[in-house]
Amino acid sequence: MKNRLKSLREHLGLTQEELGKLVGVSRQTINAIETEKYEPSIWLAYDISKVFNSTIEDIFLFEESHRKSRSEQSRGVV
């Protein structure tokens, strides 16, 4: 999932480690989110949005994807 996390974090002058401490995860988790290798839970996305006084939708960019959604995968949709 695309996101604006890195630019927002840098705008506030936070390191990945500092942001991680604020939301209760490791620096590696923040890095994985920023590089789109990990999609945060809704609760983590919520906590991150509060740090930036923003909405989840302003940080995480939900776009149509060719990848099947989790619900489609569980239903066996082709």
With a pLDDT cut of 90, the percent of the chain lying above it is 77
Average pLDDT over residues 19-46: 97
Helices then strands, counting H and E runs in the chain, come out as: 6, 2
Domains detected in the chain: 2-54 (1.10.260.40)
- Residue closest to 25 by CA, chosen among 9, 2, 7: 9
Please give the full DSSP string across the chain, using - where no structure is assigned: -EE-HHHHHHHTT--HHHHHHHHT--HHHHHHHHTTS-PPPHHHHHHHHHHTTS-HHHHEE----SSPPHHHHHHT--
Average the pLDDT over 11-39 and give the result.
97
